[in-house]
Amino acid sequence: MEGNIVNFRRGKRTVHHYQMIIRINGVSNKEKAQAAVGKTIVWTSPAGKELKGKISAPHGRNGQVRAIFETGMPGQAIGSKVKVI
């Protein structure tokens, strides 16, 4: 499966650089998003380095999920594609 990085997980004044909001292609409700919890997610940087993370929970009612990555993610990752394994 594939998806897109939507944004960092954030509060009003706080940005969590290692947590991202992901929109998975073909997932449109909370129940389908719940089925993806626990899967591994991989983002490949333009330099070819792979950063791995894990889907931790659904985010909202429209099928988006929260992913926690090993390290902080760069801002250039927003809008790019990820692989869900």
pLDDT tens digit string along 53-64? 999 999 999 999
Report if pTM > 0.85.
yes
User: In Å, how far are 18, 44, 48, 49, 57 from 65, measured between CA atoms?
Assistant: 14, 19, 24, 23, 6
Q: What is the CATH number of the domain that holds 40?
A: 2.40.10.190
Containing domain of residue 47, as a range? 2-84
Burial of 2 (0-12, 13-18, 19+ CB in 10 A): exposed
Query: Which region holds residue 79: left if phi is over 0, alpha if psi is between -120 and 50, else beta?
Result: left
Number of domains in the chain: 1
pLDDT per residue as tens digits for the range 25-83: 999 999 999 999 999 999 999 999 999 999 999 999 999 999 999 999 999 999 999 99
